[in-house]
Structure 1
Amino acid sequence: MNRNAGNLPKATNEAERQRNIRAGSQISELNNPCLSEQSQVQKCMDKSGYDKEKCQLHMNNYNACKRFWGEVRRRRRKEGLEPELPPPEERAAIKKEFLSKGHL
């Protein structure tokens, strides 16, 4: 059985397979603003032999990211804004505004 990531179309050659993988990554980034932090945790865990203590800073950063974007979603939902999670191109401005004000 030939399996591929998610609902990506079956690739007919290696170049097409790579494009499909990148497309799948872009879809994940749309739904997971903490994808980079998640990846850093996974790399650290792999490198450290799954020693959580050695990866605690990465895990704290990931958890802070999830809390931040969860709060953004709650506020946007409350204000009736759609989509609840802003698109990737708007996220840097939201983070910058948060850092300058200290709150959402």
Structure 2
Amino acid sequence: MNETQNHDISKSFREKNSSKFLDPCQKESLNSMECLDRNNYDKGKCKDLFILYRECKKKWLEKRRELRRKG
């Protein structure tokens, strides 16, 4: 994630409704699920997309922890 994405995510968290779930990795998640659909749920054919999703999620969680520490 670049600095612009980090800022956008932070802003989105501050502005979202309390009942609304925000997932900045939604695009990666949808891409991996669509890949599974296209490939008859053969996970081996979608491995790269799963890696992208995991990396996005990891960075997102790190950023959330950082923001919590800062208050």
TM-score after normalising by structure 1: 0.48
Query: What does 1:40-79 correspond to in 2, within 5 Å?
Result: 40-79=31-70
Tell me the percent identity: 37
Q: Which has the higher contact order (CA 8 A, sep 6+)?
A: 2
* Structure 1, gaps ≥5 residues long: 1-26, 81-104
**Counterparts of 1:64 and 1:53, CA distance in 2:** 18
Between Structure 1 and Structure 2, the one with more helix by share is 2
- Bigger Rg, which one: 1
RMSD: 1.0
2:23 corresponds to which of 9, 32, 37: 32
Gaps of 5+ in 2: 1-19
TM-score, with normalisation over the residues of structure 2?
A: 0.70
Stretches of 4+ moved more than 2 A in 1?
A: none
